[in-house]
Structure 1
Amino acid sequence: MSRLDPRLEPTGAVRRFEVIDGAAGRRRWSADDRARILEETLVPGAVVSVVARRHGLTPQQVFTWRREARQASAALPTFVPAVIAPEPVVAEPVRTKPAHRRAKRSPSRRRAAGIEVEAGGVTVRIGDGASPATIAAVIGALKGSP
């Protein structure tokens, strides 16, 4: 006869269990491992629970990693391609005035350099001589728009 309390004896089949002790109990996943696991969950038709269990994780842990990854990517600045194009040259009409009467081109008729931003089908032009505060305000307004 066993000297153990009979209530502690298993009544049915014994199931597998793990004993987690000390520092070895908590696994540390490298950023590369996390990224690889998260990529598996983003494949069309992938089930997060299946991927998580395959790697010995709970689905909640994988969903937490996904949320953290989204938050981290939202905090990163977004860049758009900048295209530098030469200013279009407008052909002046041919004048038949004598050479001594030709008017010099006034500085106001020259095209000023500036910044042109195209986002979401909207083009914004910021003229030459705009202050850095104005440029920052325009870009900030573009970031805030949906």
Structure 2
Amino acid sequence: MGWVERLAGVERLRAASKEDKLRILKEVETNSSGVASIARRHDVLPQQIYTWRKTLRRDIRPSGGLGVTLLPVG
């Protein structure tokens, strides 16, 4: 049996604060370098940025679903 070397990756269990998330999301929106580049710069995964964006959009959406109000006819 040959030699087996196991490489351990960088641990990424650091939690970002709400302010950090908003700052990174703002940078993604205003910078044309792309999500992957910005994620590397801040040592987060691109998937995290997409999740933060989705969560922020969900939290901003008006309560009650799609924001549609039905009115009685006649």
TM-score, normalised relative to structure 1: 0.38
How far residue 44 of structure 1 moved from its aligned partner, in angstroms, is 4.8
1:29: Cα distance to partner? 1.0
Deviations 1:64-122 (A, max 9, x none): 1111111111136xxxxxxxxxxxxxxxxxxxxxxxxxxxxxxxxxxxxxxxxxxxxxx
Question: Per-residue displacement from partner, 1:31-56 (whole Å, max 9, x unpaired)?
Answer: 10100000000015240111111111
TM-score (norm 2): 0.69
Aligned-partner Cα distance in 1 for 2:36–2:28: 9
- SS of the equivalent of 1:28 reads coil
Q: Which has the higher strand share?
A: 1
Question: After the TM superposition, which parts of structure 1 deviate over 4 Å for at least 4 consecutive aligned residues?
Answer: none
Q: 1:71 to 1:51 in 2, by over 3 A?
A: same
Which residue in 1 is equivalent to 2:36?
49
Give the structure with the larger helix fraction. Answer: 2
Flag the 1:9–1:42 CA change in 2: closer, same or farther, 3 A: closer
Q: What is the total number of aligned residue pairs between the two structures?
A: 68
Structure 1 unaligned regions, length at least 5: 77-139
Matched residue, 1:68: 55
Task: Give yes or no for the alignment of 1:17 onto 2:9.
Answer: yes
Q: Which runs of 5+ in 2 are unaligned?
A: 64-68
Q: 1:58 aligns with which of 15, 20, 45?
A: 45
Instruction: Give the % identical residues.
Output: 32
Closer, same or farther in 2 for the Cα pair 1:6/1:53, shift >3 Å? same
Greater RCO structure (CA 8 Å; 6+ sep) = 2
**How far apart are the structure 1 equivalents of 2:13 and 2:8?**
19
In 2, Cα distance between the equivalents of 1:70 and 1:52? Answer: 19
